[in-house]
Structure 1
Amino acid sequence: MIGMKREDNLSEKSIQYVKGVGEQRAKLFRSLGVETVLDMLYFFPRDYEDRSRIVSIAQCREGETVCIRARAEVNPREQRIRKNFSMFRCAVSDATGMLPVLIFNQKYMAAKLERGQEYLFYGKITRSGREKQMTVTEIESSNQESKLCGRIVPKYHLVSGLTGKICMSIIRNCLSITEGQLEDVFSPEFRERYQLCEINFALEQIHFPKDAHSLALAKRRLAFEELFLLSTGLRMLRGNRQNVTVTPFLNTDCISEFTATLPYELTEAQQRVVREILTDLKQPRVMNRLVQGDVGSGKTAVAACAVFIAAKSGFQSVMMAPTEILARQHYASFQQFFAPFPEITCVLLTGKMKKKEKTAALEAARNGVSLIIGTHAVLSEELQISNLGLVITDEQHRFGVRQRAALAHGQETNMLVMTATPIPRTLALTLYGDLDLSVIDQLPPGRQVIKTYGVGEHMHDRTYNFLKKELDRGRQAYIICPLVDPSDVLEAEAVTEYAEKLQNRELANYHVGLLHGKLKEKDQIMEQFSTGELQVLISTTVVEVGVNVPNATVMIVENAERFGLSQLHQLRGRVGRGSFQSYCILICRSNSEIAHQRMEIMSKTNDGFVLAQKDMELRGIGEFFGTRQHGVPELKVANLFTDSGLIQSASNASSLVLSKDPDLSQKEHFYLKERIRRFFSYESKELVFN
């Protein structure tokens, strides 16, 4: 389209050279992830302040923050309160009455006022004795175009050195650069079909809404755009994978040989998921499946079924764990699983292995060992696998799209992703749209419900008296000591100091172990706890994922308010793995309403899916997953809970577009393809498009 400005140009134009920025402010904006003009346009407000309703002085109520149009009756008088701090006082009036206004320590603002002139005043109504007054935060002449009063005003996440006024001024300058001619990724016909406003209107109104309706239109358009780009990109990634052919697994019928050796019967949910996996593996197309299961639902046994079939079909498997402790535990579990089958062999590969052990593991991989289990070390180019058929990643929310691809070492192979982070199905399909979804929604019979209690700091002594009773009965316990600062050095110091304090007082007569991220002997400590040599394990969050000690019956979490619900649920899942009644005690040192809500929810339910839903509602999706940890772009406008209708609409639109042009090769979709690449970031574009 003639005269349209492409995003390509704006994505290359540095923010530094926009009027009002310069080198120093450019550095501040870079710290916020804003480097180009396009970044600035998509640097959306975190919130809005509605100053659009102008009230009369008579309508002002104490405690309200309002906007009034009034005339200055006198010039402001300065009153020095203390050194370097002044208050300016002025009486203003409208047709309904008189009101004193106060301006604190802002001489430049007071200097705007001239007796007899009319202005817009924005501030909070307070009371001094029997008299109402306004503490002013903004003043504008009523004769000029309103920028901060009498309208909806955006609020941005900023850093020291940047103000809302500065940010708004720079965004206005960026909008003037586009001249309202930014190319729209959606055609007029498309916008009409899905009732979307045009992109230039949306970007202007998201920053400077003229009214609530215009803001709603802008939000809807930009949220739809995010969801459409996300859905289309993931569908293309999934489509690319489904078009890839692999050698099918031929011996899937022998799975009963393996399940017959298990000391328990698989639940119906486990059996269903195993069938779904085997159906995939029998096909000549590559499998990409996400298996969701709550804590203790038996995901490892399901993974073992897949590895067994791979081995029986002549293929090798790789399993990647997020921590060395969990990798070693998986290694022990799989050796036990396959003990009745000497032909199925396992090897462990981690970054901290001795050179001799690592060399032997790499040699075994080259020679056809059935299963390689490890940490990030399995991403090493040194690892050469002769006949890779299956890759399993544990706790997928810790590894993104790129890591999953790197695991395959350039080979097209079947991918099985296991996660203990329960996510509502519709949300999982959005976040992991490149994967098929299986859910283990049933726990093995006989598992006792873990009794959970949220207590205040005043219950500390009672909590530890209860702990000692459990220890005297021969049980074991975890104590989690979270930290404000994630620094390794501070972590070691803080948890060590806390452990010494307990060992010298409450737990003086018990065998106590210490576990933190910096400790070199953490595997040895974990082994001592697993064998019962240690009665209590004091840790940061190292035990959050996967560790299995059936004799552990007590989980105490200090400063539980510092964790989200899902993380607390993962920690709680470390106990209750044996036949004994287990307990989780959450010691909360916060009086905030959200903290108390979390403790109450944890006490009432053991359902991980319910907790995940509540966690995301309380903390927001970004904090729940962490920035881009799940391997898809961050959503700035769309809300994956409240925008369910928009999600469905965007998904339908994406499906329709790709049904007509699966790889977006048609000329009319060239810009859309570029936009998706940019949305997923340039680092991952090769994964979205071949």
Structure 2
Amino acid sequence: SDKQFMFSGDFTFQYNQYQITNPSVEQANQVVVDKSDDKIVPIYRSIKGLKPKTIRDLMKNLQPIMEFLPETLPEDLLKRQSLVSRSEAIRSLHAPKDHQSIERGRERLAFEELFEMLLAAQFNKQEQTKLEGQKIAFDEATIKQFVSSLPFDLTNAQRRSAWQILQDFEKPHPMNRLLQGDVGSGKTVVAGLAARQVAQAGLQTAIMAPTEILATQHAETLDKLLSPFGVKMALLTGHVKAKARQQILDRLKSGDIDVIVGTHALIQRGVDYHNLGFVVIDEQHRFGVKQRQSLLEKAPKMPHLLSMTATPIPRSLALTLYGELDISVLDQLPAGRLPIKTKIWSPTSAPQLYQAIDQQIDQGRQVYVICPLIDNDKNNDKKSVEAEHHKLSRTIFGHRRVGLLHGKLKPDQKETIMKQFQDGEIDILVSTTVVEVGVDVPNATVMLIENADNFGLSQLHQLRGRVGRSDHQSFCHLMLSGHEKPSQRLKEIEKSNNGFYLAEVDLKLRGPGEIYGKAQHGELNLQIASLADTKLINRAQVE
């Protein structure tokens, strides 16, 4: 038929072609507007049961009412910031006179979103200071003994962060701190030092990780650090069943356990503490109000709270995203760690690269190969893990033990494969990005990322951080998907191992929405404002 349709949505340029996400579709003849109407027509997303034209007609009928919308910001603030009123902003988005009025309307509503978010963070911070915390006195002898027992020297950044935490413990209100460290910067040791001080004071520590693999890893690391001092530890995950689980719960309630490590089940009902004083949350940047409330129910006074993340966040953004938290930064790697050698490869050089990888395996090392897709979609030229696993295990590395890991596997299958890799039973692990967060295999020294140009800078840096965890030289190979020139972000990651520098670069290149993900954006509930708009953020901060 010769019907014409009008498509609208978010235009993006991906995989060398333009794409439109969440498109709205309507017949072109229904979009035609009266000559008397404004030239700029607002496009509304499709809502189930309502056509875009119906929504447009409704909004047109509501325009007279928009004038009477109440103001939400103080008048003197509007004058200082040269912002239009709320009613004018909404009217200029639904019935714009020109492009300038659209921009003015957006600026006003975006400012309000950021202002409210920053104000809420300040209120949260004030509320935090009203809560009564468990004061934990600094015990110099205990800390000195712990530090001198370590088989390595703490970095200055670790010392500084640990001291900030120990000082927070002495305050009358509970700590609410974010410890952000680059990959491999030694966050667990800092948490362990704090937990040692808490145990000495007769209080309990709960350490929560996002996955069971990570919880198990934390438990093993902390057990080595703390058990020499008689600190009693336990691991509580879904794998701990019936009788053993009940024993742990009973010991926790009676105070026979000093440090418990697990997943978020640690704050569920039925898990009772004797005297909980300190909670560490790994890789969940924000601890919601409900979760905080459930913590209060676990202890007579609000426990001290430490969130840890391996995602370096530029300072300008950290203040916006985590305004209610105090921030400690680990920006140094432990002594003796060799910088990871990173190199960009084109597909034609693959045989040479495979030879270099094979030499590493000959030396007893292990390898990650990361691919973006799970199923081999013919419409997509990305290599799938299954196809790559088949290729490597049947041909190039037929003489090696090649494993396969992806998100569609059941949790216990994932754990088994990861355990085999940790125990050295697999030479090459072909995987999707499920290995991105936290698993520690010191013997793995090679990271090959296929289609590296399809990953964000921040994600590439996180993946690279899975290697370089011992004193062996590690390598990160970035394989291009075609023969085009490497992008700016690949060149940046090739030359720098500093996550904080790369986070700043990533922010400039792509803006924060992509870096910190839709979830983060949704969590902040930003409809109009962008975290990339640092000028507007600064203006909101001033107010």
TM range (shorter): 0.7 to 0.9
Q: Bigger shift: 395-404 or 551-560?
A: 395-404
Q: What's 1:598 paired with?
A: 489
Structure 1: gaps spanning 5 or more residues: 1-43, 48-105, 110-137, 488-493, 654-690
Q: Partner of 2:181 in structure 1?
A: 293
Q: Distance in 2 between matches of 1:573 and 1:525?
A: 20
1: CA distance between counterparts of 2:415 and 2:10? 44
Contact 1:251–1:312 (Cα < 8 Å) also in 2: no
Quote the offset at 1:232 in angstroms. Answer: 1.2
% identical aligned pairs: 43
| Alignment partner of 1:320 is 2:212 | no
Could you tell me how far apart the structure 1 residues matched to 2:273 and 2:66 are?
56
Aligned to 1:504: 394
Q: Using a 3 Å threshold, how does the CA distance of structure 1 residues 563 and 549 change in structure 2: closer, same or farther? A: same
d(CA) in 2 for partners of 1:326, 1:633: 26
Match status 1:199 vs 2:86: yes
1:587 aligns with 2:479: yes
Query: Which amino acid is 2:122 matched to?
Result: R
Distance 1:591 1:396 in 2: 38
User: Shift in Å at residue 513 of structure 1?
Assistant: 2.6
Q: How does 1:228-307 map to 2 (within 5 A)?
A: 228-253=115-140, 254-307=142-195
Q: Which structure would you say has the larger Rg?
A: 1
| Cα distance between partner residues in 1 of 2:237 and 2:203 | 22
Q: Against the structure 1 CA distance between its residues 522 and 643, is the aligned structure 2 distance closer, same or farther, given a 3 Å change threshold?
A: closer
The amino acid of 2:373's aligned partner reads L
Give, in whole Å, the separation in 2 of the partners of 1:298 and 1:573: 12
Q: Determine helix, strand or coil for the equivalent of 1:458.
A: helix
Q: Which residue of 2 aligns with 1:217?
A: 104
In the other structure, the counterpart of 1:607 is 498
Aligned to 1:331: 219
User: Which one of the candidate residues 311, 320, 335 is aligned to 1:445?
Assistant: 335
Tell me, which stretches of 5 or more residues in structure 2 are unaligned? 1-7, 12-26, 378-383
The one-letter amino acid paired with 2:353 is T
Which position in structure 2 is the counterpart of 1:145? 36
Counterpart of 1:422 in 2: which secondary structure? Answer: coil
SS in 2 for 1:545: coil
Give deviations 1:1-46, integer Å, cap 9, x for gaps. Answer: xxxxxxxxxxxxxxxxxxxxxxxxxxxxxxxxxxxxxxxxxxx996
The TM-score normalised by the length of structure 1 is 0.68
8 A Cα contact 2:375 2:385, kept in partner: no
CA-CA distance at 1:454 after TM superposition: 2.6
Residue 465 of structure 1 is matched in structure 2 by: 355
Partner of 1:475: 365
Pairing 1:638–2:526 present: no
For residues 213-271 of structure 1, give each alpha carbon's deviation from its aligned partner in whole angstroms, at most 9, with x where no partner exists: 43332222112101111011111112111110122002432311111110111111111
Shift of 1:556: 1.1
Alpha-carbon deviation of 1:481? Answer: 2.6
Distance 2:182 2:376 in 1: 27
In structure 2, distance between residues paired with 1:396 and 1:560: 26
Corresponding position of 2:239: 352
Letter in 2 for 1:565: L
Measure how far apart 1:535 and its partner are.
1.7
Offset of 1:335 from its aligned partner? 0.5
Equivalent-residue separation in structure 2 for 1:549 and 1:426 (angstroms): 33
Q: Cα distance 1:598–1:165, how it changes in 2: closer, same or farther (>3 A)?
A: farther
1:509–1:408 CA distance, 2 compared to 1 (3 A): farther
Aligned mates of 2:357, 2:394 — CA distance in 1: 16
Change (3 A) 1:622 1:615: same
Higher relative contact order (CA 8 A, sep 6+): 2
Matches within 5 A, 1:652-671: 652-653=542-543
Q: Deviations over 1:190-231 (max 9, x none)?
A: 322332211110111134332344333222211210111101
**1:577 CA displacement:** 1.1
Task: Give, as a single letter, the amino acid of the residue that structure 1 aligns with 2:76.
Answer: E
SS of the residue 1:366 aligns to: helix
- Residues 455 and 170 from structure 1, CA distance in 2 versus in 1: closer, same or farther, beyond 3 angstroms? farther
Partner residue of 2:448?
A: 556
2:434 to 542, 558, 565: 542
CA contact under 8 A between 1:561 and 1:588: conserved in structure 2? yes
Q: 1:613 & 1:159 partners in 2: Cα distance?
A: 37
RMSD over aligned Cα, in angstroms?
A: 3.1
1:533 match = 425
Q: Deviations over 1:565-593 (max 9, x none)?
A: 21111110011111121111122326788
Change (3 A) 1:397 1:460: farther
Verify: 1:568 aligned to 2:440, yes or no: no
Counterpart CA distance in 2 for 1:192 and 1:418 is 40
- 3-state DSSP of counterpart to 1:502: helix
Give the SS at the match of 2:469: coil
- TM-score by structure 2 length? 0.85
Task: Note if 1:391 corresponds to 2:266.
Answer: no
